[in-house]
Amino acid sequence: MHFTKALIHGRLIKRYKRFLADVILDTGEIITAHCTNSGTMKSCLEDNAEVYLTPVNDPKRKTKFTWEMIKINNDWVGVNTGNPNKLAFEAVKNGEIEKLKGYTEVKREVTFDDSRFDVMAKNKKETCFIEVKNVTYKKENYALFPDAVTSRGKKHLETLIKVKEQGMRAVMLFIIQRTDVDIFAPAKEIDPAYAESFKKAYEKGVEIIPFQAKVTPEKIELLKELSFEL
């Protein structure tokens, strides 16, 4: 996934009210950017860290920038939660993920039961529903999800079980937007109910695919699938 606009460089002053971040640009101007990440952003917030923003020319928007990434441990961590959905859609459509190859019809935002899934893929043999989650939380060498309690995420797991029970393929695709981790797991200490549903979903046949991505100011590209622990 290539960024369609040249990103703007700055340094983080603070993130607040969940959806706002104050940034000082290289010009010295202080601006407020939109933060799409509604979680705590544990392990990917650092005062004065380098950041990149997308400029937004939309008269309906109060903020004129969207926060894309932050430099942590000398590498970029992608914080825009909308990008993994775009990345996953492109990857499935283009057959870039080995386990999700071979689909001739790929759509975004498709409803099943009481949930709306990020991607639905079809071929003559099967239908596959894919829910995509952005992962930025790091602890030691683990990438963990979620970084805050998520009833919505738990609901997605429960609906994916229903998808599987109706004879279709059900996939949880975790896009890990940082390269300083080696393995994925549910964040049991943050949301034990989600971790329990995660284990149940896996045991019921929901596939778990954690995929690491490399984030740069020019593009975000998939690197490799990581192993996971329950």
Residues 41, 104, single domain; the answer is: no
The answer to whether the Cα torsion of 137, 142, 148, 151 is positive or negative is positive
Percent of the chain with pLDDT over 90: 95
Q: If you average pLDDT over residues 198-227, what whole number do you get?
A: 97
Name which of 67, 69, 89 is nearest 173 in CA terms.
89
Dihedral, CA atoms, 175, 178, 182, 188, nearest 10 degrees?
Answer: -70
Q: If you average pLDDT over residues 195-224, what whole number do you get?
A: 97
Instruction: Give the model confidence (pLDDT) of 150-205 as tens digits.
Output: 999 999 999 999 999 999 999 999 999 999 999 999 999 999 999 999 999 999 99
* Domain of 111, in residue numbers: 83-228
d(CA 223, CA 225): 7
d(CA 197, CA 104): 31
Tokens of 74: 């000398």
What's the predicted TM-score (pTM) here?
0.94
- The domain boundary, picked from 35, 56, 77, lies at 77
Q: Is residue 1 part of a domain?
A: no
Instruction: Share the mean pLDDT of the chain.
Output: 96
Residues 121, 189, single domain; the answer is: yes
pLDDT value at position 58? 86
Contact by Cβ (8 Å): 117, 130? yes
Split at pLDDT 50, 70, 90, the class of 90 is very high
Q: Is residue 3 part of a domain?
A: no
CATH number at residue 59: 2.40.50.580
Q: Is residue 2 part of a domain?
A: no
pLDDT value at position 211? 97
Instruction: Give the model confidence (pLDDT) of 47-79 as tens digits.
Output: 999 999 999 988 888 899 999 999 998 999 999
Split at pLDDT 50, 70, 90, the class of 115 is confident
